[in-house]
Amino acid sequence: MLRLSWIEIFLRLIPEMLLVNWGICVVAKQKISANKYIASSVIMGFVTFMVRKLPIYYGVHTFIILILTICSMAIIGLPIIKAMYGTLAMFTLLSFSELINVVLLDIFSINTSSRFTNVIVKSICGIPSIIIMLIVIKSVDYFVRKGLKLKNVNN
């Protein structure tokens, strides 16, 4: 079981799920309404929090969250195949951005122990990975719009 605080829902999980859901829509080249986008992101933020609180082996929660994200994307209207490859792409990107974040924290000699005492500091140390994800998703969105000459792919 991962040790999480309720404040991490707002500082980490909801922003992360906003990016993941947006990235899935960009990769899948699908549009969804803003209401569905925000609602699904907030719900998935809370679901992610609850799954991470389960007393299961580390890593199993990732698989469960992956399946639940695919299901939520299918529920809000994405075709299941596009939801699957979009979700896999975003979780791969999330893992890659977390890896880069850990490397950056090591380079700057910042404690990367999972036993941060302050939840705010722990959440702030996770911001670079969210920024990396944002940059990559924004770049992919730009190239999808430019390359395919689509208007309003996803806003």
Please choose, from the candidates 98, 80, 105, the residue with its C-alpha nearest in 3D space to the C-alpha of residue 16.
Answer: 98
Considering the domain boundaries, does residue 155 fall inside one? no
Considering the domain boundaries, does residue 151 fall inside one? no
Domain that holds residue 104: 7-146
Report the Cα 48 to chain-centroid distance in Å. Answer: 10
Which pTM does this prediction carry? 0.85
> Cα torsion at 24, 28, 31, 34 (round to 10°)?
-10
Considering the domain boundaries, does residue 94 fall inside one? yes
> What's the domain count of the chain?
1
Considering the domain boundaries, does residue 93 fall inside one? yes
Considering the domain boundaries, does residue 152 fall inside one? no
pLDDT of residue 125: 85
Please choose, from the candidates 100, 99, 74, 64, the residue with its C-alpha nearest in 3D space to the C-alpha of residue 21.
Answer: 74
Considering the domain boundaries, does residue 1 fall inside one? no
pLDDT at position 153 over 90: no
Whose tokens are 């809370």? That residue is 46
pLDDT of residue 128: 92
Question: Could you tell me the end-to-end alpha-carbon distance of the chain, in angstroms, rounded to an integer?
Answer: 36
Considering the domain boundaries, does residue 154 fall inside one? no
pLDDT at position 1 over 60: no
* pLDDT tens-digit readout, 74-108: 999 999 999 999 999 999 999 999 999 989 988 98
Considering the domain boundaries, does residue 123 fall inside one? yes
